């Protein structure tokens, strides 16, 4: 046995000494095997619950879910302000869920920004929306499958977010053709894109499947961002299963913190002005 081993090592050291290219190859293979089985020091998750503001009851249930969830509230809804205040008291983060025109454009939410607006009207409406929800740390789009494809209007939006400062942007990716994330990058606005909708349908089987994919992505990349909705089935699922994240060594953090951990250098610098206690 030991003779065998000695022989094997002798064989390698012969090539190591005589063939630098082989040494490099050996080192590369070790590095590759290390990177493919990479173990993340921290595994991080963020979940945005959006479409909030119309129902006090569902909003209240979401706020009472455990952990650092991020709540995206629609402007000009009956309970926007009250839910934002309650969310902050429960250590949740608040975002503006900004309505943008969709392709279907059916029953647009109050405050929807659309393609026909002049720049002046667009900015006015955007400012009203931003001021309609207190404690806003960032913005994600509600609908928007039409508007997020239009670079001109997305530049108006990002110009205003950059002007106000200290706001991040999450591209909800309601269309694969969205260029909102790219325009946010152009404007140096801290940003991330949604990885999963947890409830594209509201049956438990779909939510379970999406939640498993979400966990898989976190295990593979170290972090992921999901969006879910205040539907009774989703709320019930999260009440029962959110703790699975901790069981798998995953920390649930607010979106502003996830952006700091996951993003490019300007993501990290831009949000550093906030004290950790406020995240």
- Give the nearer residue to Zn ion in terms of CB position, either 140 or 256: 140
Q: How far is the CB of 84 from Zn ion (least distance, A)?
A: 16
- Give the nearer residue to Zn ion in terms of CB position, either 142 or 150: 142
Q: How far is the CB of 72 from Zn ion (least distance, A)?
A: 7
Q: What is the footprint of Zn ion within residues 32-71 (CB under 5 A)? A: 50-51
Q: How far is the CB of 51 from Zn ion (least distance, A)?
A: 4
Q: How far is the CB of 269 from Zn ion (least distance, A)?
A: 30
Q: How far is the CB of 142 from Zn ion (least distance, A)?
A: 3
Residue nearest to Zn ion as judged by C-beta position: 142
Which range in 123-131, 136-144, 163-171, 209-217 contacts Zn ion by CB under 5 A?
136-144
- Give the nearer residue to Zn ion in terms of CB position, either 143 or 253: 143
φ/ψ region of 196 (left if φ > 0, alpha if ψ in -120 to 50, else beta) reads beta
Distance (Å) of CA 244 to CA 198, 218, 228, 250, 253? 15, 13, 16, 8, 14
Q: How far is the CB of 34 from Zn ion (least distance, A)?
A: 41
Which range in 8-16, 142-150, 174-182, 204-212 contacts Zn ion by CB under 5 A?
142-150
3-state helix/strand/coil string of the chain: CHHHHHHHHHHHHHHHHHCHHHHHHHHHHHHHHHHHCCCCCCEEEEEEEEEECCCHHHHHHHHCCCCCCEEEECCCCCCHHHHHHHHHHCCCEEEEEEEECCCCCCCCCCCCECCCCCHHHHHHHHHHHHHHCCCEEEEEEEECCCHHHCHHHHHHHHHHHHHHCCCEEEECCCCCCCCHHHHHHHCCCCEEECCEECCCCCCHHHHHHHHHHHHHHHHHHCEEEEEECCCHHHHHHHHHHCHHHHHCCEEECCHHHHHHHHCCHHHHHHCCCCCHHHC
Q: How far is the CB of 143 from Zn ion (least distance, A)?
A: 6
Among 43, 92, 137, 142, binds Zn ion (CB under 5 A): 142
- Give the nearer residue to Zn ion in terms of CB position, either 142 or 257: 142
Which range in 6-14, 23-31, 134-142, 185-193 contacts Zn ion by CB under 5 A?
134-142
Which range in 79-87, 140-148, 212-220, 247-255 contacts Zn ion by CB under 5 A?
140-148
194 lies in the site for Zn ion, by CB under 5 A: no
The site for Zn ion, by CB under 5 A, has a size of 3
Distance (Å) of CA 150 to CA 44, 48, 102, 126, 143? 32, 24, 12, 16, 14
Q: How far is the CB of 229 from Zn ion (least distance, A)?
A: 7
Which range in 31-39, 58-66, 110-118, 138-146 contacts Zn ion by CB under 5 A?
138-146
- Give the nearer residue to Zn ion in terms of CB position, either 53 or 263: 53
* CB contact set of 218 (below 8 Å; sequence gap of 6+): 43, 44, 45, 224, 250
- Give the nearer residue to Zn ion in terms of CB position, either 181 or 267: 181
Q: Name the site residues for Zn ion (rule: CB under 5 A).
A: 50-51, 142
């Amino acid at each position: 046995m030991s003779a065998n081993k000695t022989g094997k090592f002798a064989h390698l050291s012969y090539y190591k000494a005589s063939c630098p290219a082989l040494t490099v190859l050996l080192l590369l293979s070790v590095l590759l095997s290390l990177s493919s089985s990479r173990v993340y020091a921290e595994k991080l998750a963020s979940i945005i619950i959006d479409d909030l503001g119309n129902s006090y009851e569902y909003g209240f249930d979401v706020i009472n879910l455990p952990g650092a969830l991020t709540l995206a509230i629609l402007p000009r809804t009956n309970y926007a302000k009250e839910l934002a205040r309650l969310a902050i008291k429960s250590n949740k983060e608040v975002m503006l869920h900004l309505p943008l025109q969709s392709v279907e454009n059916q029953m647009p939410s109050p405050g929807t920004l659309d393609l026909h607006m002049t720049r002046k009207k667009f900015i006015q409406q955007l400012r009203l929306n931003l001021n309609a929800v207190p404690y806003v740390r960032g913005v994600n789009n509600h609908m928007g499958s039409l508007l997020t494809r239009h670079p001109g209007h997305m530049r108006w939006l990002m110009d205003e977010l950059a002007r106000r400062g200290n706001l991040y942007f999450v591209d909800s990716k309601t269309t694969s053709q969205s260029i909102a994330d790219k325009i946010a990058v152009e404007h140096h606005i801290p940003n991330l894109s949604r990885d999963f909708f947890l409830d594209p349908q509201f049956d438990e089987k779909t939510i379970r499947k999406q939640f498993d994919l979400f966990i898989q992505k976190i295990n593979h990349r170290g972090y992921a961002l999901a969006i879910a909705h205040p539907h009774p089935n989703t709320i019930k699922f999260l009440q029962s299963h959110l703790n699975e994240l901790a069981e798998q060594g995953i920390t649930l953090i607010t979106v502003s913190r996830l952006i700091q951990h996951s993003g490019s250098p300007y993501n990290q610098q831009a949000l550093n002005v906030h004290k950790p206690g406020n995240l």
